Amino acid sequence: MNGMKTSWRTEWPHWLLLATMFVLAATSWAGAPERIPVHWNVAGQVDRYGGRFEGVLLLPLFGVVLYLLLRFLPRIDPGRANYPSFWGAYGTVRLAALAVMAALYGAMQLQLRGHDVDMATVVPLLVGPVFIVMGSIMGKLRPNWFVGIRTPWTLSSKEAWTKTHRAGGWVFIAIGAAMMTFGVIRREWFVLTVIIGAGGAVLGLAIYSYLVWRRDPNRVPPAGTSPADDAA
* Bridge partners of residue 46, in order along the sequence: 40
- Other CB atoms within a 10 A radius of the CB of residue 43 amount to 11
* Bridge partners of residue 49, in order along the sequence: 37
The pTM for the full model equals 0.85
CA–CA separation, 123 and 129 (whole Å)? 10
Residues with Cβ < 8 Å from 139, sequence gap 6 or more? 162, 165, 166, 169
On the question of pLDDT at 78 being above 80, the answer is: yes
* Bridge partners of residue 40, in order along the sequence: 46
Higher pLDDT, 81 or 184: 81
CA–CA separation, 213 and 49 (whole Å)? 48
Would you give the distance in Å from CA 139 to the centre of its chain? 16
Range with the largest mean pLDDT of 27-31, 37-41, 42-46: 27-31
On the question of pLDDT at 27 being above 90, the answer is: yes
**107-145 pLDDT, tens per residue?**
999 988 888 888 888 888 898 999 999 999 999 999 999
Phi and psi (nearest 5°) for 10? -100, -25
CA–CA separation, 152 and 165 (whole Å)? 14
Query: Stretch 44-49: mean pLDDT, rounded?
Result: 81
CA–CA separation, 21 and 56 (whole Å)? 9
Looking at residue 223, its pLDDT comes to 59
**166-223 pLDDT, tens per residue?**
999 999 999 899 888 887 777 666 677 777 878 888 899 999 999 999 999 988 876 5
* DSSP 8-state symbol, 68: H
